[in-house]
């Protein structure tokens, strides 16, 4: 028996090393998409009919890629966009496949307000207004509406406001959707739209390559941040937006995660990790990823300046 136990102890690290060598998916990530039906990045100035068609095409492409990679995801909706363009039924039809395919919808408020600039009561009203389409859609699928993502990840710039909103959300049955990796996709998406408008296919290709390279750097950066702050990696929550850029690159983004040994899990699975129960007590006007928030709570000094920058030509494109 003892020999067996010793053998097992000796074999375990070997199994671990082998599983990495064989490309086993040892890391996990939950995918989240914001600003549905369509992120506004760079789509200003198009007609309502064009916007509806674009929303349909973008959502369809993202969902198809998710399906090909067996990746569950949650989409956060701004009801204000659903009731815009005199096309509420059209937009609801665009949102409903998110539920049919085993994914889910979450609340991203009605008008995407900045909590730093309004009262908690005004914010709460916006949250309630944000439920109009997603609540019945989720109910029809037999699921409760569970998650709220704060616009800009602004969770309250002072403790009083932060607590007031947190209490309200809890009472209403919400859990806060965190996020631990962002790749500034909205910055790339804005430049991408400007490039597409000029029909510059070469620049579009260059941007997509730069976007994937930057995404890889950010995944590694935030994994390293967690190792520094928490002592190990935890399930990630990836923040993305419903944009043309992500529609055109979703297959590549998902392949990138797979190549980096990630397996796709739901937001609920990711946030069931104990790290997500670390209480957040400090208030901030900024909307940092949760790794930075945990660092602050656990009193661990981290240097945000080490985070890779978006390439300057993309940052300044069209400005």
Q: How far is the CB of 76 from Zn ion (least distance, A)?
A: 7
Bond before 213 cis per omega within 30 degrees: no
Cβ(29)–Cβ(234) under 8 Å?
A: no
- Strand pairing class (27-36; 73-77): parallel
Tokens of 33: 């998409």
Identify residues 14-43 at the interface with Zn ion (CB under 5 A): 34-35
Site size toward Zn ion, by CB under 5 A: 3
Name the minimum Å distance from CB 236 to Zn ion.
19
Which residues 179-208 are close enough to bind Zn ion by CB under 5 A? none
Residue 28 or 284 having the CB closest to Zn ion: 284
219, 163 contact by CB (below 8 A): no
Task: Sort 84 into a burial class: Cβ within 10 Å, 0-12 / 13-18 / 19+.
Answer: middle
Cβ-closest position to Zn ion: 34
DSSP 162-208: HHHHHHHHHHTT-EE---SEE--HHHHHHHHHHHHHTT-HHHHHHHH
Q: Which stretch binds Zn ion (CB under 5 A): 83-91, 147-155, 212-220, 257-265?
A: 147-155
Note the Cα 35 to chain centre separation in Å. Answer: 10
We find the least distance from the C-beta atom of residue 21 to Zn ion, in angstroms, to be: 40
Q: Which is nearer to Zn ion, 151 or 291 (CB)?
A: 151
| Minimum distance of Zn ion from residue 32's CB (angstroms) | 10
Q: How far is the CB of 84 from Zn ion (least distance, A)?
A: 15
Cβ proximity to Zn ion: between 230 and 247 the closer is 247
With respect to Zn ion, which residue has the nearer C-beta, 34 or 79?
A: 34
Closest to Zn ion by CB, 92 vs 108, is: 108
From 120-128, 144-152, 181-189, 247-255, span contacting Zn ion (CB under 5 A): 144-152
The answer to whether the beta carbons of residues 105 and 137 sit under 8 Å apart is yes
Interatomic CA distance for residues 175 and 184, integer angstroms? 24
The reply on whether position 218 binds Zn ion by CB under 5 A is no
- Complex with Zn ion: residue 262 or 290, whichever CB lies closer: 290
**x/- string (CB under 5 A) for Zn ion, residues 148-167?**
---x----------------
| 3-class secondary-structure state, position 43 | coil
Q: Which residues bind Zn ion (CB under 5 A)?
A: 34-35, 151
């Amino acid at each position: 028996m003892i020999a067996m136990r010793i053998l097992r102890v000796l074999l375990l690290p070997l199994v671990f090393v082998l599983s990495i060598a064989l490309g086993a998916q040892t890391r996990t990530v939950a995918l989240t998409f914001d600003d549905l039906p369509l992120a506004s990045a760079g789509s200003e100035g198009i007609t309502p009919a064009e916007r509806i068609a674009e929303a349909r095409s973008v959502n369809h492409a993202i969902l198809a890629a998710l399906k090909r990679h067996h990746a569950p995801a949650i989409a956060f909706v701004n009801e204000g966009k659903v009731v815009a363009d005199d096309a509420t039924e059209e937009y609801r039809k665009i949102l409903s496949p998110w539920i049919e395919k085993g994914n889910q919808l979450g609340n991203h408020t009605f008008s995407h307000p900045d909590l730093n600039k309004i009262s908690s009561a005004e914010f709460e009203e916006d949250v309630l207004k944000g439920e109009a389409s997603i609540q019945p859609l989720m109910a029809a699928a037999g699921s409760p509406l569970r998650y709220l993502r704060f616009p800009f990840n602004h969770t309250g710039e002072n403790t009083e406001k932060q607590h007031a909103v947190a209490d309200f959300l809890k009472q209403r049955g919400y859990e806060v959707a965190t996020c631990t990796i962002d790749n500034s996709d909205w910055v790339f998406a804005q430049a991408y739209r400007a490039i597409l408008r000029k029909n510059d296919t070469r620049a579009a290709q260059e941007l997509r390559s730069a976007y994937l390279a930057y995404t890889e750097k950010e995944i590694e950066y935030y994994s390293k941040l967690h190792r520094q702050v928490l002592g190990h990696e935890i399930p990630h929550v990836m923040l993305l937006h419903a944009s043309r850029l992500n529609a055109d690159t979703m297959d590549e983004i998902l392949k990138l995660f797979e190549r980096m040994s990630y397996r796709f899990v739901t937001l609920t699975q990711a946030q069931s990790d104990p790290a997500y129960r670390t209480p957040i007590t400090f208030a901030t006007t900024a909307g940092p990823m949760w790794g930075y928030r945990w660092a602050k709570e656990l009193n661990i000094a981290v240097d945000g300046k080490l985070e890779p920058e978006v390439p300057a030509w993309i940052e300044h494109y069209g400005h």
